[in-house]
Homo-oligomer: A and B are copies of this chain.
């Protein structure tokens, strides 16, 4: 295992120290329990938007704390849900009486621990609402989930709901917009290589030199099928078609097209995939009105990508275009 770390035990802690040192103008980092809040929290009269999840998917979520996006992020251990006391502490540090929205990726551990935090916060009189993302069309009832997994839509939802909260939307309104984003978005990912979790020290799964894992999860969970390595055009089709058919997206739709890198794939390859995706959508008479290309929800150093399509309208476009100022998105 070759990693730029001091030890498997200290990666998350050391990186939090790095974030605190690099971005003191934007965020404050708290330890034990660990959470990151925007520097000006709590913002009077504003709904607090909080997310979190296992570490190893950066910049999600810790890089997205700041004006126009998250009020707080709760990083768990590597690929491990954060604990309820992290969400509770982040809630206390950011809520200002307008309520708190938890954005939760649909994994059993995350859902359980966030639900526990809802109860703890409610007992303190804080009004909490939740949105659970479950946009991955690859599998149902997977290794870590009942129902679909939450992946790329989470990134888009944090940006869009963050903008709504910043603009003064109520808790109910933020939740409604979040649920709409999740309902209108679909994703699927592919792995060309595995990642290696520091504590484990060996690749999560084995892939032959000519094999890919189609529909892989962001922790290296098995996907739809083991497939043969193919060119970018074919891989893009295999990712996009199930997404398009699931919602379904239709001729005349406007969409945000998101090509996400898993962490170990060069940016130039993500643009190759984007070009293929754009051709494919044009054939189906679907119009890309906004795009996002890069590493946003990663799986450590895994090579591969995911595609997310989000049906777009004026409300979502306006919120998407709103200013944002966080360590990793501005």
Q: Report chain B residues within 8 Å CB of A21.
A: 274-275, 278, 288, 291
Q: Report chain B residues within 8 Å CB of A274.
A: 18, 21-22
Q: Report chain B residues within 8 Å CB of A33.
A: none
Bound: A148/B7 CA distance, A: 34
Please tell me if A11 contacts chain B, counting CB pairs below 8 Å.
yes
Q: Report chain B residues within 8 Å CB of A217.
A: none
Most B Cβ at <10 Å: residue of A4, A16, A330: A4
Residue of B nearest to A271 (CB): B18
Contact with B along A270-307 (1 / 0, CB 8 A): 11111110100000000010010111001011011100
Near B by CB (< 8 A), chain A positions 1-21 give: 2-7, 11-12, 14-19, 21
Number of interface residues of A (CB under 8 A): 58
Bound: A193/B212 CA distance, A: 21
Stoichiometry, as copies per complex, reads 2
Q: A4-B235, A7-B231, A21-B275 are in contact. Are A58 and B303 (CB under 8 A)?
A: no
Q: A5-B272, A6-B272, A192-B2 are in contact. Are A301 and B266 (CB under 8 A)?
A: yes
Bound: A17/B276 CA distance, A: 9
Q: Report chain B residues within 8 Å CB of A12.
A: 268
Most B Cβ at <10 Å: residue of A212, A266, A267, A300: A266
In the assembled complex, the CB of A105 is this many whole angstroms from the nearest CB of chain B, namely 17
Please tell me if A223 contacts chain B, counting CB pairs below 8 Å.
no
Bound: A56/B268 CA distance, A: 7
Give 9 A-B contacts (CB < 8 Å), ordered by A residue: A2-B192, A2-B229, A2-B303, A5-B269, A15-B272, A18-B271, A59-B267, A263-B264, A266-B301
List A residues at the B interface (Cβ < 8 Å): 2-7, 11-12, 14-19, 21-22, 55-56, 58-59, 63, 192-193, 209, 212, 229, 231-233, 235, 263-276, 278, 288, 291, 293-295, 298, 300-301, 303-305, 328, 330
